Structure formats: structure tokens, C-alpha cells
């Protein structure tokens, strides 16, 4: 299984963030935002303010067909695209954020934008910008099975191996999202091609669901950690600070996206400030789960 750190100073940022939160006996707080939402300037302001409360920032690449996302993130991605998002905005935002502080920066993109840009160039630019790692949730071999074969696959192998080679060469962590009802063998296989974090959904279905966390989630987290040897991030369905506190008791990282964006939607004239307030509330949630000192 892949548990060692890739040879990259940027990848080490995630390892350090996880080590800090582990020393505090809590999960690391990861906050997700599509780059360019609600505008380039307001989104970057929001990310800088969110960084004051987060251990990890996950920068999303807006896409026209975000198959795993619910209406909240779909709307945010569409707004960012309408505002003129370009891939250069991702690299510029990451460069600015990593230069400004110690918060680790990850990226999340569906496969198609990476394929169009060029996997090798994309990975190299991410690493140059200080990004620690990448989650590509719809790779056919490692995601939900919703992807399809492409010309790139035929020329250079599968999409997953194409990306893994590019990420390894650039020194990036490659995170994966476990599919529903994955067998032990499948989880072990995912662990062998994953580094940094492996992602577990807190609730079934699309992002942004507002329902109780699965009662089986603690067992699933322990199972994934045992079979892969990797830190486990819980996301997709963390909707309240109380749920963040609940998941922080057994996960290595808690990822929140739709809940922050939902608040930004409600206060469009103060999106950055509202994002900062939401980040603070979720940070208090993960810290609330820390066991009392003895």
C-alpha cells in the first residue's frame, strides 16, 4: 500500500497538517470551495479568510457535469464558469494561498478538465503552485464507475494510471473516493494507489445531503483505515458543526463544502465574510470533539 510521502515539498504540507491535528487529538478540518465562486475576487477573499480556521483547503475545479455533486455545488460551479473561470485561476489561487500561510492546499477536479488540459502539465502546475495532492472522484478505475474510456486511455493506458503516473512524477499525493459497498479486496487495491488521504462519504448519494450521518460510518472508517493504512477523510454529508464534531471523533479529516457554500448563497453581498463565519463554526465543531485533558 502507498503510505509514504511523495518526494515533494508541497505534498508534505498535507502530512504536516494531519500531524498537527493528530497531536491535538482531533480531525483536521478541510473546507472545499470551487475556484471562482462567487467571483474570482470574492472567492479568493473567502479562501484567505477560511484558511484562518481550516487545516486544509480543497480547491474545486468548476465543471459543467459534476456527476457526484448536488444542487448547491452545481450552482456554485455554474456561477464560477459564468463569471469566466479559467484553469489558470486555480493555479494562481493555489500559489497565493500557499505563499500566505501554513494551511495545506488540495485540489479536486473531475477527469475531463484534466484530460483536456493535459494530465502531465496539470500535475506539474499544481505542484509548482504548492498544491499537496489531488482528488479525481470520477476516474473509472478508482471512482464510482461513472467514467468512460477516452482516446487518452487508448494511447497511454487507463485514465487512472495516466493520472497516477503524472501525479507521481510531479510529487503529488493522489487521493481517492471509495465507491459504495466496496469489498475488502477493492479497498485494499485502492489503498495501493492512494497516498495522503482516502475519502469516505458520510452519507450516501450526492454532495450536499442534509440527513443524519450513517450509523455505520465509524465502523467503515475503521475498516478503511485498517485495509489501506491511510488517514481517512470523511466528507459528502457533513452539514452542521455538530456532525463535524461527531465525525472528528473517529476520522482523520472532516471535509465540508456544501454547508459553507449554502451560507454564501444566502448572503451574496457578504460571501467572503459569511464563508469565514461558517469556517469558524465548523472549526469549533472539530475541536469540540477533542477528549478532555487528563
How big is the chain, counted in residues? 294
Residue from 15, 45, 65, 69 carrying the catalytic annotation: 69
Helix (H, G, I), strand (E, B) or coil at 223: helix
Burial class of 267 by CB neighbour count within 10 A (0 to 12, 13 to 18, 19+): middle
Asked if residue 10 lies in contact with residue 20, where contact means CB atoms within 8 angstroms, the answer is no
| Cβ neighbours around 293 below 10 Å, total | 5
DSSP calls for 93-146: HHHHHHHH-S-EEEEE--HHHHHHH-HHHHHHHHHHTT--EEE-TT-TTTSSS-
Distance CA 44, CA 270 (A): 13
| Cis peptide leading into residue 71 (ω within 30°) | no
Distance CA 79, CA 39 (A): 8
Residue 69 falls in the annotated catalytic set? yes
Asked if residue 130 lies in contact with residue 164, where contact means CB atoms within 8 angstroms, the answer is no
Residues designated as active site: 69
Amino acid at each position: 500500500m502507498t503510505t509514504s510521502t511523495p518526494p515533494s515539498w508541497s505534498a508534505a504540507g498535507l502530512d504536516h497538517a494531519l500531524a498537527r491535528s493528530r497531536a491535538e487529538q482531533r480531525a483536521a478540518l478541510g473546507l472545499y470551495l470551487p475556484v471562482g465562486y462567487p467571483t474570482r475576487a470574492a472567492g479568493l477573499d473567502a479562501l484567505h479568510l477560511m484558511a484562518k480556521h481550516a487545516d486544509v483547503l480543497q480547491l474545486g475545479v468548476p465543471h459543467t457535469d459534476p456527476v457526484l455533486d448536488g444542487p448547491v455545488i452545481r450552482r456554485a460551479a455554474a456561477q464560477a464558469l459564468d463569471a469566466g473561470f479559467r484553469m489558470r485561476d486555480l493555479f494562481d489561487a493555489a500559489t497565493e494561498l500557499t505563499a500566505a500561510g501554513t494551511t495545506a492546499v488540495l485540489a479536486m477536479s473531475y477527469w475531463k478538465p484534466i484530460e483536456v488540459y493535459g494530465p502531465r502539465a496539470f500535475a506539474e502546475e499544481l505542484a509548482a503552485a504548492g498544491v499537496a495532492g489531488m482528488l479525481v472522484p470520477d476516474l473509472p478505475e478508482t471512482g464510482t464507475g461513472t467514467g468512460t474510456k477516452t482516446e487518452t486511455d487508448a494511447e497511454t493506458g487507463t485514465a487512472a494510471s495516466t493520472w497516477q503516473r503524472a501525479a507521481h512524477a510531479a510529487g503529488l499525493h493522489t487521493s481517492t473516493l471509495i465507491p459504495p459497498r466496496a469489498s475488502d479486496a477493492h479497498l485494499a487495491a485502492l489503498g495501493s494507489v492512494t497516498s495522503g488521504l482516502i475519502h469516505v462519504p458520510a452519507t450516501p448519494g450526492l454532495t450536499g445531503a442534509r440527513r443524519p450521518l450513517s450509523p455505520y460510518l465509524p465502523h467503515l472508517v475503521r475498516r478503511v483505515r485498517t485495509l489501506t493504512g491511510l488517514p481517512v477523510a470523511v466528507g459528502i454529508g457533513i452539514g452542521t458543526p455538530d456532525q463535524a464534531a461527531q465525525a472528528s471523533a473517529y476520522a482523520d479529516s472532516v471535509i465540508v463544502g456544501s454547508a459553507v457554500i449554502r451560507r454564501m448563497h444566502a448572503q451574496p453581498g457578504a460571501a467572503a465574510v459569511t464563508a469565514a463565519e461558517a469556517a469558524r463554526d465548523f472549526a469549533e465543531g472539530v475541536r469540540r470533539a477533542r477528549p478532555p485533558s487528563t
